[in-house]
Amino acid sequence: MNMAGQSFIRAAAVCTPVEIGNPKANAAAILSAARPLASGDVAISVFPELCLSGYTAEDLFFNDSLLEGCRAALEDLVRTNPLPVMVVGTPWRLADGRLLNCAAVIANGALKGLVPKTVHPNYGEFYDQRWFVSGRQINERIVDETFGTVACRTDQLFDLGGVRFGIEICEDAWAPVSPATSASLAGAVIILNLSASNELIAKADYRRDLVRMASARNICAYVYASAGPTESTKDVVFGGHNMIYENGHLLAEGERFAFDGSTVQADIDIAALIHDRTQNTSFAQTPRPPAYRITSCGESLPTLTNLQRSFTRHPFVPDDENEIGARAREILSIQATGLTRRMKAARAEKLVIGLSGGLDSTLAFLVCLDALDRADLDFGHLEAITMPGPGTSDLTLSNTRTLAESVGVTLTEIPIGDAVEQHLDDLDHDGSHDVVFENAQARERTQILFNYANKVNGLVVGTGDLSELALGWCTFNADQMASYNVNASVPKTMIAYLVRWYGRFRANDQLNSVLASVLDTPISPELLPPEEGAISQHTEDIVGPYELHDFFLFHFLRYGASPARIFNLARASFSGTYDEQAIKKWLRVFFSRFLTQQFKRTTLPPGPKVGTVSLSPRGDWRMPDETSVDHLLASIDNL
């Protein structure tokens, strides 16, 4: 499949060995590095600053032979370049004698433009102003017998199949006002930086932060290629630091100090960047610079058949085990702080929670313990209530009792069987295990919790998670409702990790044991009678695997992805686990439920936002309850 159709483009940052003052050899090295990239679907490649001459050529820049050699080498690259777009660094002398440090953009057998460096360092080990003038005021229309008519200016962007990129050179990125910001505001979604940044203690870390934040601040991809160790080492050493960042996230980084050169490449998600720019009003409402010149480098994006970029199956959960601990502490702190503040604002004396023995209520219970710690209150201020009913299994009831016992919290048991039976009799119910039978239990539990909270001046703590809210897998005006829902923006896949982490690092032996049992318990609303004491109703058999739904939810809400795009990403990410028909089936369930169950989210109680994806009707997600779903389901059926 051509993933360029899904708005992916492959870019490369390349550092080639340099022979200082030998443009012909340097052009040959560039072509040697470019050929395998061309066969690997690379669309845009960027090489280091002054890579045709060598950045450290010093007063050789005043030599006619070097400048003429760079022109000849550039002509060779224009004629033989195998890549859709190649950007190289070269000195360029204007007709009036001024010398520029330029990025030369080569595409389709032509020199498409020259972008001069704006900020020339003249401090410390740098003395660039000895040779070059700033491109800040340069706006030249060069008519050249070899290259034709070429624009030489900083305020220009280049377009490849609708993807626009801008250019800055080395120190430009270090300046207080960076050309990359103006270019991004003018429409560039990719910034290329041709650099010659020398190595000092800790400078690589600073450089990473600089590039990372430039990509985040400008909501763009940033491709950075720096000169390597074959530059002169008379006074400084260059490491050949190559990096590609996308909106603050590292996609690729090369090894430094490689004498044979190095290359990194990555597939950039253009659709995700455009979505974030659309959604981020701070970026969207920032005044734009005067119109930039746009130069076409090709009408369509090059084919991209094998996406090298992987998308994690569990986008809400960090891949790094060490990061999971930091994330867990952060999420639990946000949840507990929000609940503590809410408790104080309501002047509540107690927290009231319904314990089912399942995953969600267990996490909410742990958050209650942390909240009471923050409020300097003992666990006697937590009222844990379990309400066994017609669907309650032996396992979950045992989990509930052990959970409360392990931390010394008093558990109140209020069976609801008789009350539900009386209620159904009052409704003249036919006795079937239908939706009335199921919802009557959920609403009876909610009634007890709120009335009990009134009795003890308490706050009802909600337990439903983000994944359930997305699917509408909750009973309206029952488990959908609470005084404050601490799990409202925590997805099911993350809840499992939080509970597991808590058990390993914060629990006593008894609590750790029961948390392990909770994690092993099948996810179920337990609203249908158990079979021989065991859970008979398995949520994931009904609505589908939560790991798939969390994947769908993340890409739909975070990046506004279409069903087709989500399907293709899921197909790649879950290859070998779910076949295409299974993904298509559950994707249809996701969109059907998500769009038809908005009325349950419109009336959600408050709860803390812990991540970038949230369904709060007051903040992150506002959607009409009556949104049509048929056209989306039809598009899924046609996948």
For 81-121, the pLDDT digits (tens) are 999 999 999 999 999 999 999 999 999 999 999 999 999 99
CATH of domain 321-637: 3.40.50.620
CB atoms within 10 A of CB 19: 14
Report the share of the chain in percent with pLDDT over 70: 100
Cα 158 to Cα 188, 221, 286, 295, 502: the distances in Å are 8, 15, 22, 5, 51
Say whether 159 sits in a helix, a strand or coil.
strand
Per-residue model confidence (pLDDT) at position 536: 78
Q: How many CB atoms lie within 10 A of CB 245?
A: 25
* Residues with a known catalytic role: 49, 117, 170
Q: Is 53 helix (H, G, I), strand (E, B) or coil?
A: coil
Q: Reply yes or no on whether the pLDDT at 1 is more than 80.
A: no
Closest by Cα among 240, 204, 112, 210 to 165: 112
The pLDDT, as a whole number, for residue 482 is 98
pLDDT of residue 323: 87
> What pLDDT was estimated at residue 433?
94
> For residues 72 and 619, which has the higher predicted lDDT (pLDDT)?
72
- The identity of residue 26, as a single letter, is N
Crossing angle (nearest 10°) for helices 580-596 and 546-559 = 60
Q: Long-range contacts made by residues 286-289, C-beta under 8 angstroms, separation at least 24?
A: 286/185, 287/185, 288/185, 288/186, 289/155, 289/182, 289/185, 289/186
What confidence tens digit (pLDDT) does each residue in 273-285 have? 999 999 999 999 9
Please give the structure tokens belonging to residue 353.
């929670």
- Among 311-320, 397-406, 462-471, 586-595, name the one with the lowest average pLDDT: 311-320
Please state the pTM of the whole predicted model. Answer: 0.92
Examine the pLDDT at 341 and tell me if it is beyond 90.
yes
**Mean pLDDT of all residues in 238-258:** 97
The type of residue at 589 is: V
pLDDT tens, 470-507? 999 999 999 999 999 999 999 999 999 999 999 999 99
Give the span between the Cα atoms of 60 and 316, in whole angstroms: 54
Task: Report the distance separating Cα 626 and Cα 613, nearest Å.
Answer: 22
Give the pLDDT confidence score for residue 286 in this predicted structure.
Answer: 96
Residue 636 has pLDDT above 90, yes or no: yes
pLDDT score, position 631: 96
83 three-state secondary structure: coil
pLDDT of 528: 87
**Is pLDDT of 226 > 90?**
yes
- Residue 533 pLDDT > 80: no
**Residues 146-181: tens digit of each pLDDT:** 999 999 999 999 999 999 999 999 999 999 999 999
Identify the pLDDT of residue 262. Answer: 97
Q: Is the pLDDT of residue 531 over 90?
A: no
Mean pLDDT of the chain: 96
**Tell me: the pLDDT tens digits for 429-464?**
999 999 999 999 999 999 999 999 999 999 999 999
Contact 228, 261 (CB under 8 A): yes
Is there a shared CATH topology between the 3-298 domain and the 321-637 domain?
A: no
Asked if 343 and 351 count as a contact pair (C-beta separation under 8 A), the reply is yes
Q: How far apart are CA 43 and CA 11, in angstroms?
A: 6
In 3D space, the residue among 379, 297, 353, 290 whose CA is nearest the CA of residue 44 turns out to be 297
Q: How confident is the model at residue 372 (pLDDT cuts 50, 70, 90)?
A: very high
Domain assignments of the chain as residue spans, ordered by start: 3-298, 321-637
Residue 457 β-bridge partners: none
Cβ neighbours of 349 (radius 10 Å):
13
Q: 228 pLDDT exceeds 80? A: yes
With bands split at pLDDT 50, 70 and 90, how would you rate the model's confidence at 526? confident
Alpha helices for 12-160 (secondary structure H)? 23-39, 64-80
Q: What percent of the chain has pLDDT over 90?
A: 94
Q: How many CB atoms lie within 10 A of CB 297?
A: 23
Helix (H, G, I), strand (E, B) or coil at 3: helix
In this prediction, residues 63-84 reach a mean pLDDT of 98
Q: What is the DSSP letter of 58?
A: G
Q: Decide if pLDDT at 343 tops 90.
A: yes
- What average pLDDT does the segment 349-370 reach? 97
Could you say which DSSP state residue 603 is in? Answer: T
CATH annotation of 3-298: 3.60.110.10
Q: How confident is the model at residue 2 (pLDDT cuts 50, 70, 90)?
A: confident
Question: Cα separation of 409 and 369, whole Å?
Answer: 10
pLDDT exceeds cutoff 80 at 292: yes
